[in-house]
Amino acid sequence: MSLTAAASGFVVVLLSVSGTGQDDWGVTYTSTEICALKGSTVDMSCTYKYPSRTLSGYTTVVKAFWFAKMNGNEHVDLRTDPEYSGRVQYICGNNDCTLRITDLRESDSAKYKFRFITNQPDGKYTGSPGVTLSVKDLQVRVSILQASTRWAALMCHSSCRLPGRLRYVWYKNGRIVQGQSSYYYSGSFNPADSFSCAVEGHENSRSPPLYAPKLPSVSVSPSAEIVEGSSVTLTCSSDANPAAKYTWYKKNRDPDLQPLSKEPQLVFSSIPSSDSGEYYCTAENELWWRTSEYISINVTYAPKLPSVSVSPSAEIVEGSSVTLTCNSDANPAANYTWYKEKQKVIQGPEGIYHFSSISSEDRGNYSCKSENQYGEIMSSSVSVDVQYAPKLPSVSVSPSAEIVEGSSVTLTCSSDANPAANYTWYKEKQNLLRGQTQIYHFSSISSEDRGNYSCKSENQYGEIMSSSVSVDVQYAPKLPSVSVSPSAEIVEGSSVNLTCSSDANPAANYTWYKESEDSPKASGQIFTITDFRAEHSGNYSCEAQNRRGRNKTTVHLTVAVNSAMIMNIIRVTVVVLMLILLLLLSLWIRKKKTLSSTTEPQEPVEMIELDSCPVYENVSDFTAAKTEDTEQQEDML
């Protein structure tokens, strides 16, 4: 039986079309579509015509050939094409030409055209539409499959219409199956078995074997580190005939969900971190199916937003144990850095920051940074509220400069405590309640308000007393008080001390004035008159002054009269006068005697005795007498 004979049924002629041109140029193809089996021989025939004579003379064919492709503008003669080497033959006669191709291949499927070239100008002609050749292979197909018993019914099939009553040869695992000559075969099988068929007599052109998919292999691209957001392709491949259909799955994924893909490749155009995991594929054809091994996808990515927790989550009391935990999804695992109020406090691979005995200084807002080689991210902050007894209060005075009587003054007590402290004010460390607020206010402070103040800070965890602060109220001198020493009558000639005193802050300066005198008499708190005389009598003023003001007090001083002394003075004065008179009289008498003795004879002088004025022999006698007279006068008084 020849596969080249049209009667054999292996070559199917579908249509006959003539290709004609002007001036009786033309090519007529016996068939325009042919279907042939792989490995067989096919003949494509045509007739052609051309004008035997033109104005240029007689026409002769210089070259005639078949072609299936072009090389640029050149038509490639099949006899020169390496792909057809040894398999092409032209059988040409008078105005006809047959192309014969042996040992057909599926790659021979193409459109073939005949072209001839004459000696006439523009005497080149290509016949259209040509012959379309389809080279098909025998195929073993599964007609019935019983997977539970591994039994199948197979059919030897061709896309080309084949003549009936052909005998077939069946092969199982490359060996002929005896007793099988029909295009139909049935029997048990193993998934590793393969089946093929051929037309009897042409066993060398057997069909490709039918076999179940081999164990699929899976690969990932890129094969290096996979970073979140990158493009990743998983490829499943399996040797199978007919070609396998592929389905992709993810391990531990809900089986009721749709498969990830039904293509040989599973493509992630921008892979997320959630796609990390193990994947597998199945390869399936008409005969059976196989499942691949798992392939692991490890998607590396920068840390996600960390979560921060505090344990215990209830009230935290100073001295207790506290743990801060930072957790961030990252691949590879993140390193953590802890911050307090944005200041770094600790760094390490563990996201735990532990206080074995937390103190009040540890309170504040904490956050952590999670980082790996792909990026970093900061958590939101968490507040650590440590409760504790009040610390030593600080007391401040406002204004902090000089405080003047009548001004507004505020005392503020501040104590670090959690919960916030209650305050009690004290003056001079007495149990004198001054207020129960943090601030104690004087709307118009007075001098009586000066002194030392302190406050007590307390909450449920304890109490503590502040150190005291001095409130120094400055004010102008109060009305001065003046004292006189001696306090009895001032005796002329005696020493007198005047002392001035005034309540003032800062301490007053003192100035002494005497009435009707512009210049001050003295300065200082004490004014002393050492030898008091009558002219010293009068009004004296003491003025107390500081930078806040001044004030004045007046006192009257007068000398006391001594009558006994006055009498003594008078007596002494009279005696002195009498002595002077006696002296003058004695001198006068002596002068007179001198004159008489020179002018007249001397006469006896008469002596007169004066009894009214006693004569004292010496001063001591005079003094004793004076003293006696004085005592008698005092007795008379």
pLDDT over 50 at 528, yes or no: yes
The yes-or-no verdict on residue 611 having pLDDT over 50 is no
Q: How far apart are CA 346 and CA 324, in angstroms?
A: 12
**Mean pLDDT throughout 291-316?**
94
At residue 128, the 3 state secondary structure works out as coil
Mean of per-residue pLDDT scores for the chain: 86
Predicted confidence at residue 486, as pLDDT, reads 86
For residues 453 and 427, is the Cβ–Cβ distance under 8 A?
yes
Query: By percentage, how much of the chain surpasses pLDDT 90?
Result: 63
Q: Write down the pLDDT at residue 299.
A: 95
pLDDT given for residue 565 in this prediction: 66
| Angle between helix 563-599 and helix 619-636 axes, rounded to 10 deg | 140
Q: What is the spatial distance between Cα 331 and Cα 46, in angstroms, rounded to a whole number?
A: 72
Checking if the pLDDT of 319 tops 70, the result is yes
Please determine, for residue 115, whether its predicted confidence score (pLDDT) is greater than 60.
yes
Q: Tell me what pLDDT residue 619 has.
A: 38
In this predicted structure, the answer to whether residue 318 has a pLDDT above a threshold of 80 is: yes
* Percentage of the chain exceeding pLDDT 70: 88
Q: Is the pLDDT of residue 495 over 80?
A: yes
d(CA 556, CA 490): 11
Strands 559-560, 490-491: pairing is parallel
pLDDT for residue 317 is more than 50? yes
Q: What is the pLDDT of residues 568-593, one digit of tens each?
A: 778 888 888 999 999 898 888 888 88
**Structure confidence at residue 601 as a pLDDT band (50, 70, 90):** low
Residue 476 CA to residue 491 CA, distance in Å, equals 36
Average pLDDT over residues 133-160: 92
Which pLDDT does position 504 carry in this prediction? 93
Question: Binning pLDDT at 50, 70 and 90, where does residue 8 land?
Answer: very low
CA distance 110 to 453: 114
Q: What is the mean pLDDT of residues 258-287?
A: 94
- Given pLDDT bands bounded at 50, 70 and 90, which one contains residue 4? very low
**Mean pLDDT, rounded, for 546-550:** 92
Neighbours of 152 (CB within 10 A): 22
State the pLDDT at residue 314: 86
Lowest mean pLDDT across 160-174, 382-396, 399-413:
160-174
More confident residue, 456 or 432: 456
pLDDT band at 518 (very low <50, low <70, confident <90, very high): confident
> What is the rounded CA–CA span in Å between residue 564 and residue 635?
10
Q: What is the mean pLDDT of residues 191-200?
A: 93
Q: Where are the beta strands (DSSP E) in 306-356?
A: 307-311, 316-317, 322-327, 335-340, 343-348, 352-355
* Averaged pLDDT for residues 155-183: 89
Q: What is the pLDDT of residue 429?
A: 67
Q: What is the pLDDT of residue 54?
A: 78
Residue 14 — pLDDT band, cuts 50, 70, 90? very low
Q: What is the mean pLDDT of residues 418-447?
A: 84
Which range, of 45-59, 340-354, 608-622, averages the lowest pLDDT?
Answer: 608-622
Q: What is the pLDDT averaged over residues 154-172? A: 88
Give the model confidence (pLDDT) of 439-494 as tens digits. 989 999 998 888 999 999 999 999 999 999 999 999 999 999 999 988 868 888 88
Report whether pLDDT(17) > 80. no
Counting every residue written for the chain, the total comes to: 637
Is the model more confident about 40 or about 328?
328
CA 99 to chain centre: 82
* pLDDT at residue number 96: 94
Q: What is the pLDDT of residue 428?
A: 83
pLDDT score for 433: 63
> Which of these, 419, 418, 523, 395, lies nearest to 471 by C-alpha position?
395
Task: Give me the pLDDT at residue 9, please.
Answer: 33
Integer angstrom CA distances of residue 90 from 44, 60, 97, 241, 610: 10, 19, 7, 36, 214
Q: What is the distance, to the nearest Å, from the Cα of residue 245 to the centroid of all Cα atoms in its chain?
A: 51
Enumerate long-range contacts of 139-146, CB under 8 Å, 24 or more apart: 139/207, 139/208, 139/210, 139/242, 140/195, 140/196, 140/197, 140/207, 140/208, 140/209, 140/210, 141/210, 141/286, 142/210, 142/286, 142/287, 143/184, 144/186, 145/286, 145/287
Question: Cα–Cα distance between 175 and 180 in angstroms, integer?
Answer: 12
Indicate the Cα dihedral angle 480, 484, 489, 493, nearest 10°. Answer: -130
Indicate the DSSP class of residue 430: S
pLDDT tops 90 at residue 303: yes
Instruction: Return the higher-pLDDT residue of 107 and 614.
Output: 107
Supply the pLDDT for residue 608.
Answer: 37
Determine the pLDDT at residue 324.
95
